[in-house]
């Protein structure tokens, strides 16, 4: 799959490297000299947005036409009130997936804990589920679909992760496992 990763920080770089290792063609887009955002979107079938959350609305407006019809994975978190997710920022023709936002990048780099693979919860419409699950598995995590429109629930998991990491002092290599 051709994947554009927008953002070259810890999250974007780690996801891009894992997906490249899994055999995908990854093109980075960033404000820096790594690569043009517009050029990275041209051939992308899926787009992972890993930029600061407050930059998402302007990114989505500027590239609305190029994002139309593509699976857009929102891995961002917007702080300062309101929802963490940016679902409302993207044009209606975007195939929105909320994933990779509730764990630290360290878990994408090393998703195995005592021999078990960590779960990654995500939310999207059923039509995007197969693509989302492929991306999550190819990063090395076990996908757990919360259903459509469960963005706020998923964002709550980020707050839980953040509390365990910071107030409990457990470190950033911490993930969840859903047991059935």
DSSP, collapsed to helix, strand or coil, labels residue 89 as helix
* Mean predicted lDDT score pLDDT of the chain: 94
Looking at the predicted structure, is the pLDDT value of residue 168 above 90?
A: no
Looking at the predicted structure, is the pLDDT value of residue 33 above 70?
A: no
For the question of whether the overall pTM of this predicted structure is more than 0.85, the answer is yes
CATH number for position 145: 3.40.50.720
Does any domain span residue 51? yes
Does any domain span residue 134? yes
Does any domain span residue 73? yes
Q: How confident is the model at residue 34 (pLDDT cuts 50, 70, 90)?
A: low
What is the chain's Cα-based Rg? 15
Does any domain span residue 178? no
The vertex-47 CA angle with 41 and 51, nearest 5°, equals: 100
The total number of structural domains that make up the chain: 1
Does any domain span residue 135? yes
Query: Using one digit for the tens of pLDDT, what is the confidence trace for 70-103?
Result: 999 999 999 988 899 999 999 889 999 999 999 9
Contact, 151 vs 83, CB < 8 A? yes
Among residues 39, 84, 96, 45, the alpha carbon closest in space to that of 63 is found at: 39
Domain range for 159: 2-166
Among residues 21, 45, 20, 40, the alpha carbon closest in space to that of 30 is found at: 40
Looking at the predicted structure, is the pLDDT value of residue 35 above 90?
A: no
Does any domain span residue 173? no
């Amino acid at each position: 799959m051709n994947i554009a990763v927008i953002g070259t920080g810890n999250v974007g770089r780690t996801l891009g490297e894992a997906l490249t290792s899994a055999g995908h063609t990854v093109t980075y887009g960033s404000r820096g000299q790594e690569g043009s955002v517009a050029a990275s979107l041209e051939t992308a079938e899926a787009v992972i947005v890993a930029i600061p959350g407050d930059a998402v609305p302007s990114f989505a407006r500027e590239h609305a036409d190029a994002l139309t019809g593509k699976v857009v994975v929102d891995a961002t978190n917007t702080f300062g009130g309101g929802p963490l997710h940016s679902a409302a920022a993207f044009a209606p023709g975007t195939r929105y997936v909320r994933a990779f936002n509730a764990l630290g990048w360290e878990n994408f780099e090393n998703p195995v804990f005592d021999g078990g693979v960590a779960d990654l919860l995500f939310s999207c419409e059923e039509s995007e589920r197969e693509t989302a699950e492929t991306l999550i598995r190819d990063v090395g995590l076990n996908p757990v679909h919360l259903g459509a429109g469960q963005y706020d629930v998923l964002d709550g998991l980020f707050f839980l992760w953040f509390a365990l990491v910071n107030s409990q002092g457990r470190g950033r290599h911490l993930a969840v496992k859903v047991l059935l």
